[in-house]
Structure 1
């Protein structure tokens, strides 16, 4: 036919609309499956974060109870095999004599700046050794003569928080016993390097004494647990709601387009 005569067939727009209508059942089924999968996944992650938050709050409550409880005797060899994370931050009491000749420094950063924790073996009456973190010193205070106070001698009582060993060093920074370079309080490695024959598998962060002006600075243990689980839960639940809203918008627009066709 000429350009002025009637045109046969359908236009490309009409063909596309027809194709969309034919694909509609499959498209909606696929969209529904994808929406269900995403929604279920996001809700599951949100519920998991809610459960993690409950666990974290319970942990914080239990640790708070431990650090404020009356001190108990530090566990001896007959209990070492039973120790677990549930014993972390338990308040304990030790009686014995410090061996200052085997003092060890591990790298630390506190409110006083960069420096070292001062770990000193204490030989208990029961005959085993416990590494006691007597506190923080700056680089200038590593020499005992520069600390302004005499180190405790003779029988000494220590009260502090029991801590579990920190093996293998810090994050991406291994300990180097050969160079006497310690980035974490790895009890077994330090005990081996210092020749301790019967070391406890834990160390104790000593509490601050009445004289807080001297060095080392004790009582600097930070008992804090990151608890962002509520934020994460709300994020996952928000994504679940957005998934449903997005799917609803797509379906409503599709129905509107079908009516216009």
Structure 2
């Protein structure tokens, strides 16, 4: 004959079940919150590049401004390009323009009329045209110019990001803290964001091919939420079956 579980054991089991249920519901709710955040981000990436251009945040706003509120925002600024360029490797699988495949984003220093600087992604060049000597006419315009682009978040490297090869001018992402000194800019005076030029800024020769901001989002949060909620429902079902069998056998 099976020995009945003690009151303490039943209470402990009940607490474990309730805790597990609460954790599962909490995880599902967190994923729903992430879903709302991701959908807002996707909407911003779709709408902001088409909105009227604004002046980008200057040094007075860098310490406090919310980059999420500016990411993908179309901006207009006036200043001069520096003479150097850095190359950020990318495999452009879905180009907006006629050229794609393996190549580089050409990133140039830009100093505004106000005196602060920002990294500007001028656009894409294919692997065979990485060397500026192979693409005459691709240099940035001289003198004071007004440009338009969209603000992009800093590409902070992770564990899997290869180290840049400074001798070969090959970066893997536009990490401002690494690129700015390479291009001769002071970090203290460089914006904590970069700017991708819009397609209209492509030079007459076609390179660098501007307007190639890569905007891709994975949005599996609804699937994850339903998974956690489903496990919680299954837990309730298992507990219900156990209690029903106990009551039936009583």
- Shorter chain as denominator, the TM-score bin is 0.7 to 0.9
Q: CA deviation at 1:179?
A: 5.9
Aligned counterpart, 2:179: 190
Distance 1:130 1:47, change over 3 A: closer
The aligned counterpart of 2:131 is 143
2:64 matched to 1:67?
A: no
Kindly tell me the number of residue pairs found equivalent between the two proteins.
Answer: 239
For residues 43-72 of structure 1, the C-alpha deviation after alignment (integer angstroms, 9 at most, x for no partner) is 122222222222333333344442221011
Matches within 5 A, 1:99-248: 99=82, 101-111=83-93, 112-147=100-135, 149-154=137-142, 155-168=144-157, 171-177=160-166, 180-197=169-186, 198-209=189-200, 214-248=206-240
Q: Is the 8 A contact 1:116 1:139 kept in 2?
A: yes
Distance 1:75 1:30, change over 3 A: closer
Q: Is 1:94 matched with 2:82? A: no
Q: SS of the residue aligned with 1:240? A: helix
**Distance between the aligned counterparts of 1:118 and 1:170, measured in 2?**
24
- How far does the alpha carbon of each residue in 1:148-206 deviate from its partner, in whole angstroms, 9 at most, with x for none? 64434224332111123224467342335466442121223222122224433322100
Structure index of larger Rg:
1
Which moves more between the two structures, 176-185 or 114-123?
A: 176-185
Question: TM (normalized to structure 2)?
Answer: 0.81
Distance 1:250 1:117, change over 3 A: same
CA contact (8 A) 1:177 1:189 kept: no
Q: Distance in 2 between matches of 1:123 and 1:170?
A: 32
**Match of residue 26, structure 2, among 38, 44, 49:** 44
Unaligned runs of 5+ in 2: 94-99
* Higher fraction of helix: 1
Change (3 A) 1:133 1:211: closer
Instruction: Give the superposition deviation at 1:235.
Output: 0.9
Q: CA deviation at 1:27?
A: 6.3
Distance 1:201 1:25, change over 3 A: closer
TM-score by length of 1: 0.78
CA distance in 2, matches of 1:109, 1:170: 20
Cα distance between partner residues in 2 of 1:84 and 1:174: 28
